[in-house]
Amino acid sequence: MGIKQIYLWRDTDSEPDSNYHKERHILQAELSGKGSEKAGGAEQQTMSVYLRVRPFSKEELSQDEDQNCVVIENSQMVTLNAPKGSATMKSSEKGIGLTVHKFSFSQVFGPETTQAELFDNTFRSQMLDFWDGKNALIFSYGVTNAGKTFTIQGTPEEPGILPRVLDATFHHIGDRQYEGMDLKPYLRNDAQCLDPDQVDQERWAKAAIFASVKDVRTSDSSSCSGKSLSSSCLSYSQTEAGSSQFALWAAFFEIYNECVYDLLQPSLGSRSKKRAALHVREDGAGNAYVKDLRWINIQTLDEACKLLQFGNKNRSAAATKMNHSSSRSHSIFTMKLLKTEGGTVRSVSEFSLCDLAGSERCNKTKTFGQRLKEAGNINNSLLILGKCITALHNNQNNRMKNSYIPFRESKLTKLFQAVLCGSGRASMIVNINQCASTYDETLHVMKFSAVAKQVVQVIPEKPLESLAPCLVGRGGKPLVSTRMLEEQALENVLSEDEPLDEDEANLYLLPQNELVNLFERLQTKLLAERRRNMKQEMEIRKEMGDAMLQQLMESEELRRRQIEELKESHQEQLENIFEMYKDAIKEHAYQSAMDTLENQYVPLDEFLDEQQKVEVCHFTELQAGVRVGDFIIQLPRRVYSFNNGPVMPHSSI
Ligand SMILES: Nc1ncnc2c1ncn2[C@@H]1O[C@H](COP(=O)(O)OP(=O)(O)OP(=O)(O)O)[C@@H](O)[C@H]1O
């Protein structure tokens, strides 16, 4: 396969300082060949994505899993051939998709690659970054049983990347171990100065973990043997001279069903107790960290291995059809290296190794109930990791159109957001097996990694956060002003790494009047710039004002039209109601008239009878009236004759 072998640390006879710088230079030269470039003091580099193909196991060979599905073309190219019966083959028979896929990687490692070869050719540059105060992240990705844990942790006989990084780091520290245990990582990038009580607590916590590991070690096989790897693999030299000292702290946690659990919590042994999930919070600078995560100070490889062993015991593992002991959680081992000088913390760097849960999809693993929920959460966080990587890549391709990157949608991506965005170097190891039965899942993994490979990381030469860790005391109160630390750090950057360029250096040689002129010119420039900015701001404000006014007018017009329409419809309704009333009144009047008529109706016979009666009555009255009239006429005469005797007929009174 022709993998390049580079044993940089073998040269133990030469000067330590020169060794270190020589290593850096060679690695930088290597990196420049792998697509890294420098722009404005920042290093731009596509994310390193390595492929590791694991060998077949005896059972797999006996089950006819070897169907030439994975063919390694060269050190960077691999071909996948769809086997008969796979979904990919069936789709291609229907005319959808291809049966052959080619993928390229930063480097491809075949089944015969040893753990040492893999480590030497991949992650050393990140380890040097870590020693240099920068952050690093490695994550392993692949389906269950593809060799992720083997690559990250390995076995006692074949230690993986993590024990190798630890071993190399302890060799790098050598006798410059900061024994005090009173400087501890705090939040994401800061350090805390512990008082004696707190130091005692740290010691007890550490002792409690190690006490329980002793029992485990006899029964459990550990991936990390605790014996130095230097003799078997590489020899490391102490690299930097000077008064620096180092303190290494480690944490081990897992993300299971979107909950973060501390794997270094001793109480986890008891099955009845429910584990407490930890919260993911943000520090003042927006960096995510796990609140209340247990950090243990480790001073030897043996201690580190015990931690790993302790955490592994706690790791939640659930049976699936594909691999009975498969891990169903993302496990993350994080180291923080505090570099101190004269009681001041110069830098805090972080190195995380993330062993992702198997990436298989639900249907394949035949999962139900709790397992289905697990699979859903695992797939979700991996899906979001994929989405983040795709969005990062898309944004880099099209800088005008920045799309949303969903870092916050899963704990995993939230925690690694800073590194993925360039606060450190991130790399990915893709693990695959060659089995025909898992071909479709493997193809899915390969497609995901193809996108990841295109993500460009812009890593500042000196990330500011690593320059200025804030030292805090009990309760997180700053002990030293951050500004002072920043100034000191800036001073360091200027004095050590960035010699003044020619123009800046010449400034000191200029006579005073020229300096005054230069100052005035700069001041004029500054004023012009400010004026330009102000003008721009005013234009923007005006544009925004106009747009708002326009919007207001439009909404007012809309409202006016709505009111008008409402008025019209009300008017219409009123008119209708009025018409209805009018009709009702008419109807009522007619009805009343009819009722009255009906009440007053007299049949004709009755009416005629009645009329006759009336006439008879009238006649009778008339007759009676005549008689009365006669009587009245005769009355005076009668009265006279009564009084005076008989009177003359017809004489008037
Ligand atoms: N490169 C390799 N050489 C030899 N054996 C390997 C290699 N890679 C993996 N194996 C073996 O294959 C098996 C599965 O590997 P491992 O447990 O690392 O898979 P995994 O991807 O981590 O699975 P899971 O997702 O379930 O954790 C183990 O027995 C391991 O020892």
Distance from Cα 107 to the centre of ligand 1, integer Å: 19
Mean pLDDT over each residue of the chain, to the nearest integer = 76
101 token code pair: 């896929």
Largest CA distance in the chain: 194
440 and 296 part of one domain: yes
Three-state secondary-structure class, residue 479: coil
Domain that holds residue 640: 604-653
> How many domains in the chain?
2
Evaluate if residue 580 carries a pLDDT over 70. Answer: yes
Q: What is the pLDDT of residue 574?
A: 93
Q: What is the pLDDT at residue 217?
A: 45
Look at residues 436, 451, 472 and tell me which one is the last residue of a structural domain.
472
pLDDT digits (tens, 9 = 90+) for 184-235: 888 877 888 888 888 998 898 888 888 877 654 444 445 565 555 543 444 4
End of a domain among 457, 472, 487?
A: 472
Residue 390 predicted with pLDDT over 70: yes
Residue 319 in contact with ligand 1 by CB distance below 6 A: no
In a domain, residue 505? The reply is no
- Pick 84 or 362 by higher pLDDT: 84
Does position 12 have pLDDT exceeding 70, yes or no?
Answer: no
- Nearest-angstrom CA–CA distance, 574 and 580: 10
Mutate to test the pocket of ligand 1, among 59, 145, 327 (most ligand atoms within 8 A of CB): 145
Contacts of 193 (CB under 8 A, 6+ apart): 182, 183, 471, 472, 473, 479
- Residue 37 domain-assigned (yes or no): yes
Categorize the per-residue pLDDT at 111 as very low, low, confident or very high, splitting at 50, 70 and 90: very high
From the list 541, 520, 419, the residue with the least C-alpha distance to 134 is 419
pLDDT at 641 over 60: yes
Q: Cα-flanking dihedrals φ and ψ of residue 84, to 5°?
A: -65, 140
* Residue 340, in any domain of the structure: yes
> Rounded to whole angstroms, how far apart are CA atoms 256 and 275?
11
**ipTM exceeding 0.95, yes/no:** yes
Ligand 1 centroid–CA 148 distance in Å is 6
Strands 280-282 and 288-290: antiparallel
Q: Would residue 348 count as lying in a domain?
A: yes
Residue carrying structure tokens 């920043």: 486
Query: 49-78, pLDDT tens digit by residue?
Result: 899 999 999 999 998 888 899 999 998 899
Any domain includes 513: no
Question: Which pLDDT value is given to residue 97?
Answer: 79
- Measured CA to CA, the distance from residue 300 to residue 45 in angstroms comes to 33
Q: Which of 149, 152, 254, 428 to mutate to test the pocket of ligand 1 (most atoms within 8 A of CB)?
A: 149
Q: What is the mean pLDDT of residues 290-308?
A: 91
For residue 572, being part of any structural domain is answered with no
Beta bridge partners of 281: 289
Any ligand 1 atom below 6 A from CB of 312: no
61-94 burial: b if 16+ Cβ within 10 Å, else e: eeeebebebbebeebeebebbbbeebebbeeeee
At residue 130, the 3 state secondary structure works out as helix
192-201, 244-253, 357-366: least confident range: 357-366
CA angle 155, 161, 163 (to 5 degrees): 65
Binding site membership of 327 for ligand 1 (Cβ less than 6 Å): yes
Q: Is 438 in the pocket of ligand 1 (CB under 6 A)?
A: no
pLDDT of residue 651: 43
Residue 393 lies in a domain: yes
Kindly report the protein residue whose alpha carbon is nearest to atom 9 of ligand 1: 147
**Residue 160 Cα to ligand 1 middle (Å):** 11
Residue 337 placed within a domain: yes
Q: How confident is the model at residue 364 (pLDDT cuts 50, 70, 90)?
A: very low
Residues 464 and 610 in one domain: no
256 pLDDT more than 60: yes
Residue carrying the six token digits 């003359």: 648
